[in-house]
Amino acid sequence: KAGVTQTPRYLIKTRGQQVTLSCSPISGHRSVSWYQQTPGQGLQFLFEYFSETQRNKGNFPGRFSGRQFSNSRSEMNVSTLELGDSALYLCASSSWGSFNEKLFFGSGTQLSVL
Amino acid sequence: GNSVTQMEGPVTLSEEAFLTINCTYTATGYPSLFWYVQYPGEGLQLLLKATKADDKGSNKGFEATYRKETTSFHLEKGSVQVSDSAVYFCALSDAAGGTSYGKLTFGQGTILTVHP
């Protein structure tokens, strides 16, 4: 069974631009979560989608958004990029997104904002 | 709110040494507790978990016991190997308030380096 796939692996953008990251969950998983990982703030939860609906959201500005498609693939978008958005963005999937479920993580997209 | 505190790193050990990484938590409800491991250039992998008080999670020689009285979930391994070098994250998921979907609260991570 293929794991969680994130594309692209690396991205370089400039301030003010926007970016879209993609995540394909494990086949059969309907819950997709996104996390931001930085050396200073560690791992922070962005949002979670299940059956194309956002069910949970972390404390990030509205510039961060996401969506999920009917095949459970998910994208996240960051508009008007700031230097502080440079981070590793991780996607995770699970069957139901329940609180005691194991999350399967992708390898991440490393975003650098110049 | 929920929070997880891990011991400061990095931790450097010789092969076959005993490992302890401390983790304490604060939660509003009855959380599930996890240890995840991140190898260089990779995403996180679940190492072990415990879903209720006094449960012991174990995997690959690692163990952690859910201690409600001390709000702790310390990771231990009796004899570490070079291949255990990685970053270890303690995390919790709290069902209280129905806001737990897909959400883990992580500690800051502890870098472990094991020398031959």
Q: What is the pLDDT of residues A89-99, one digit of tens each?
A: 999 999 988 87
pLDDT class for A101, splitting at 50, 70, 90?
Answer: confident
CB proximity under 8 Å: B 56-85 to A:
none
- Contact criterion met (CB below 8 Å) for A46 and A64: yes
Question: A90 contacts in B (CB within 8 Å)?
Answer: 43-44
Tokens of B107: 């500690």
Q: Over range B27-48, report the average pLDDT.
A: 91
Provide the percentage of residues in chain A whose pLDDT is more than 70: 99
Question: A103 contacts in B (CB within 8 Å)?
Answer: 44, 46, 102, 104
* 8 Å CB contact of A107 and B100: no
Residue A54 Cα, gap to closest chain B Cα (Å): 10
- First CA to last CA distance, chain A: 37
Give the residue from B34, B44, B89, B93 with the most A CB atoms within 10 Å of its CB, the best one to mutate: B44
* 8 Å CB contact of A105 and B44: yes
pLDDT class for B98, splitting at 50, 70, 90?
Answer: low
CB atoms within 10 A of CB B3: 12
Nearest CA in chain A to B5: A42
Dist CA B67 CA B47 (whole Å): 18
* 8 Å CB contact of A42 and B43: no
Q: Give the mean pLDDT of chain A.
A: 95
In order of A50, B11, B14, B56, B81, the CA distances from B114 in angstroms are 40, 8, 5, 25, 6
Torsion of CA B45, B107, A44, A91, to 10 degrees: 0
